[in-house]
């Protein structure tokens, strides 16, 4: 059994093998496809997931989103970390 993934500020999240972020042309929405599961992320979640390349850290993702949306950096960092941890707990994000 794999050890649980812990998402931290210095983590460089990525989608694991078998998980894909795709735009569904028919439904005009993004989907996160995982084995036997489909997630429909909202606009902000898509922004975060598109940055999960295994290189950008959670801190870097939070910095980019806080600048883009003019939001408080601490709040963005907390929200990004919580979302990624939730997805890591479901096995669709790893580091």
| Architecture (CATH level 2) of domain 20-89 | Orthogonal Bundle (1.10)
| pLDDT at residue 61, as a whole number | 98
Dihedral of CA atoms 48, 52, 55, 61 in degrees, nearest 10, equals: 10
Residue with tokens 């963005």: 76
Please state, in angstroms and as integers, the Cα–Cα distance from residue 6 to each residue in 27, 44, 72, 82, 86, following that order.
33, 21, 24, 11, 10
What's the predicted TM-score (pTM) here?
A: 0.91
| pLDDT at residue 38, as a whole number | 96
**Where do the domains of the chain lie?**
20-89
Q: How is residue 27 written in tokens?
A: 């439904």
Kindly tell me if the per-residue pLDDT of 50 is higher than 70. Answer: yes
Q: What is the pLDDT of residues 3-41, one digit of tens each?
A: 789 999 999 999 999 999 999 999 999 999 999 999 999
Q: Is 46 helix (H, G, I), strand (E, B) or coil?
A: helix
């Amino acid at each position: 059994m794999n050890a649980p993934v812990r998402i931290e500020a210095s983590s460089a999240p990525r989608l694991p093998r078998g998980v894909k972020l795709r735009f569904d042309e028919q439904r005009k929405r993004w989907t996160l496809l995982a084995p036997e599961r489909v997630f429909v992320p909202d606009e902000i979640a898509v922004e975060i997931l598109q940055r999960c390349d295994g290189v950008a850290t959670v801190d870097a993702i939070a910095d980019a989103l806080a600048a883009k949306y003019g939001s408080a950096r601490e709040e963005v960092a907390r929200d990004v970390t919580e979302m990624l941890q939730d997805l890591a707990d479901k096995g669709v994000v790893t580091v």
